[in-house]
Structure 1
Amino acid sequence: MARALTDSVAVLSGVGPKTVAALATLDINTVNDLLFYFPFRYEDLQTRPLAELADQEKAVFKGKVVSNAVVSFFGPHKNRLSVRLLIDGVVVIVTFFNQAWLKDKFKLEEEVAIYGKWNEQRKSVVGMKIISQSTDNALDPIYSVNKQVRQKKLVELIQTAFKNYGALLGNVLPDDIRQHFRLLTDHDLVQQMHFPKTLTESNAARRTAIFREFFLFEAKIQQLRVNNSEAEDGLQLSYDLPALKEFIATLPFALTTAQKRVVNEICADLKSTRHMNRLLQGDVGSGKTIVAAIAMFAAVTAGYQAALMVPTEILAEQHYQKLVKLFAPMKVSVTLLTGSMKSKPRQNALMAIETGRANIIIGTHALIQDAITFHKLGFIVIDEQHRFGVNQRRALREKGLNPDILAMTATPIPRTLAITTYGEMDISTIDELPAGRRPIETSWLKINQASQALAITRNQMDHGDQAFVIAPLISESDSVNLKNAEDLAEQLADYFAPKYQVALLHGQMTAEEKAEKMAAFNRNDIQVLVATTVVEVGVDVPNANIMIIYNADRFGLATLHQLRGRVGRGDRQAYCFLIADPQNEVAVKRMEIMTETNDGFKLAEADLKLRGQGDIFGDKQSGLPDFQMGDPVSDNNILVAAHQVARELFLADPQLVQEQNQGLKNYLRQLQATETFD
Structure 2
Amino acid sequence: MITDLKNIAGVGPKLLKQFRDQGIWNTYDLVSYLPKKYDNFSVVDVDSLKHEEVSTVIGTIYAPLFTVKKKVVWTTTSILVQDKLIKLNIFGRDYLTKVFKKDDVVLVKGKYNIFKNEMNVIHITKNQDIPEIKPIYQIPNIYDKTVHNIIKTVVENESVELYETLPKSFVDKYHLMGRKEAYITAHFPKDENSLKNAQYRFKVEEAFFHLLKYHLNMPPKPKRDPLNYDIEWVRKQISLLPYQLTLDQQEATNDCFKDFKSVDATYRLIQGDVGTGKTFVTFIAALGCISAGYQVAFLAPTEILARQHYENFNQYFSHVSNALLTSSLKDKDATINKLKQS
TM-score bracket for this pair, using the shorter chain length: 0.5 to 0.7
Q: Which amino acid aligns with 1:212?
A: R
Counterpart residue number, 2:125: 131
Q: Measure the CA separation in 2 of the matches of 1:115 and 1:328.
A: 76
Residue from 293, 296, 303 that aligns with 2:286: 296
Residue pairs, 1:84-95, within 5 angstroms: 95=88
Q: Which amino acid aligns with 1:245?
A: W
* Per-residue deviation, 1:295: 1.9
Q: Secondary structure at the match of 2:47?
A: coil
Q: Secondary structure at the match of 2:263?
A: coil
* Per-residue deviation, 1:80: 1.0
Counterpart residue number, 1:72: 68
Residue pairs, 1:196-215, within 5 angstroms: 196=189, 201-203=190-192, 205-206=194-195, 208-209=197-198, 212=201
Q: TM-score, normalised by structure 1?
A: 0.33
Residue from 44, 55, 58 that aligns with 1:61: 58
Q: Secondary structure at the match of 1:130?
A: strand
Counterpart residue number, 1:82: 76
Distance 1:287 1:192, change over 3 A: closer
Distance 1:172 1:240, change over 3 A: closer
Q: Which amino acid aligns with 2:67?
A: V
Q: Measure the CA separation in 2 of the matches of 1:309 and 1:154.
A: 60
Q: TM-score, normalised by structure 2?
A: 0.57
Larger radius of gyration: 2
Q: Secondary structure at the match of 1:44?
A: coil
Q: Is the 8 A contact 1:237 1:302 kept in 2?
A: no
Q: Secondary structure at the match of 1:318?
A: helix
Q: Is the 8 A contact 1:333 1:359 kept in 2?
A: no
Distance 1:288 1:221, change over 3 A: farther
* Per-residue deviation, 1:275: 4.0
Q: Measure the CA separation in 2 of the matches of 1:290 and 1:121.
A: 58
1:192 counterpart = 2:189 = no
- Deviations along 1:432-459, one digit per CA (max 9) or x if unpaired, are xxxxxxxxxxxxxxxxxxxxxxxxxxxx
Give the share of equivalent positions with the same residue, in percent: 16
Q: Which amino acid aligns with 2:183?
A: V
Q: Measure the CA separation in 1 of the matches of 2:196 and 2:225.
A: 45
Distance 1:294 1:335, change over 3 A: farther
Residue pairs, 1:264-663, within 5 angstroms: 264-280=254-270, 288-300=278-290, 306-310=296-300, 313-323=303-313, 329-336=319-326, 341-342=327-328, 348=332
Distance 1:304 1:190, change over 3 A: same
Q: Is the 8 A contact 1:70 1:81 kept in 2?
A: yes
* Per-residue deviation, 1:318: 0.5
Q: Measure the CA separation in 2 of the matches of 1:333 and 1:302.
A: 19
Counterpart residue number, 1:97: 90
Residue-pair matches, total = 307
Q: Which runs of 5+ in 1 are unaligned?
A: 5-10, 17-29, 47-51, 144-149, 361-678
Counterpart residue number, 1:236: 225
* Per-residue deviation, 1:188: 4.0
* Per-residue deviation, 1:56: 5.0
Q: Secondary structure at the match of 2:259?
A: helix
Q: Secondary structure at the match of 2:123?
A: strand
Q: Secondary structure at the match of 1:54?
A: helix
Q: Measure the CA separation in 1 of the matches of 2:43 and 2:253.
A: 61
